[in-house]
Amino acid sequence: MPPGMSLREAARKAVVACVSDFAAKGARPRLALVSVTLPPRTTRPQVRQLASGLAGAASEFGMAFLGGDTNGGEGLSITVCAMGEAPRRVPRRSGARAGDIVMATGPFGHAAAGLAIATSRRRLAATVRFAAAARRALVRPTPPLRFCAGAAHLFTASMDSSDGLAATLWEIASQGRVRIEVDAAPVGGGVREFAAENGLDAMGLVLYGGEEYETVFACRASSRPALRRRAARLGVNLLEIGRVERGRGVYLADSGRRSRMRNAGWRHLSA
């Protein structure tokens, strides 16, 4: 939990972490179990905040909690296990083929900027509007559940982006044994200016920061019009970021330069 994040927001985000994976596969979460570990000094109002966050998320995403477990421990821990309904054809990570286009359901970099603002030892310069957008991306992300539920049958490969854009693209490229060329990095509004003013790496925030909970997917070029129409109806900021080619690796074109993207981001169980 970054500084300034409420218990209600933390509980909701624990649910979002599950919902985002469902969204990436076009599935709908229906039921969930939750296990909570509470520190000894947890107060009744704090418990109410956690319960409120879980209940609000269940209502928001059309889920019901079946039960779970409660324990005491040194630190707060919220663990959610969700179950739901998958579409007839679930898009894999390995389906991207040469000629496909690559899309993302929103911009990147705001969540990493929000974390930088919340944790920096120095006061980072940011407009009120940008700081608000960055905080919202960090503590209240919203996966594109409705969009993907009706669009995933058009995906050839897909993945949730919470580990970072670079890690997601590399996983899709590696699983499909293809090369991904990123022609238009999905840089969030104001991210470049925020980074420049504070001496930060804008592309580092966009590619490696993670926590966006967007869906990154490949699809046939012929599916582009249908996907854009659905995105427009639901208010999803669908961005075409690149293409799939024969070969290996992930490459980025930025500011007139083409370079091999680092395979970096969140690494589970890393030393």
Q: Which of 70, 74, 80, 90 is nearest to 27 (CA)?
A: 90
Per-residue model confidence as pLDDT tens digits over 132-168: 999 999 999 999 999 999 999 999 999 999 999 999 9
Report which DSSP code applies to 125: P
What is the predicted pLDDT for the residue at 180?
97
Other C-beta atoms within 10 Å of 244: how many?
Answer: 23
Section 50-78 average pLDDT: 95
271: pLDDT strictly greater than 60: no
Q: Determine which helix (DSSP H) or strand (DSSP E) holds 158, and give its type and residue range.
A: strand 155-160
Bigger pLDDT: 159 or 255? 159
Q: How far is CA 33 from the centre of its chain?
A: 22
Bigger pLDDT: 1 or 214? 214
Q: How confident is the model at residue 270 (pLDDT cuts 50, 70, 90)?
A: low
Other C-beta atoms within 10 Å of 176: how many?
Answer: 21
Q: Which of 25, 140, 36, 34 is nearest to 84 (CA)?
A: 25
What is the predicted pLDDT for the residue at 267?
75
Q: Model-level pTM greater than 0.75?
A: yes
CB 12 within 8 A of CB 20: no
Q: Give me the sign of the Cα torsion angle 185, 208, 198, 214.
A: positive
In the structure encoding, which two tokens stand for residue 162, read together?
Answer: 């919470």
In the structure encoding, which two tokens stand for residue 143, read together?
Answer: 């996966």
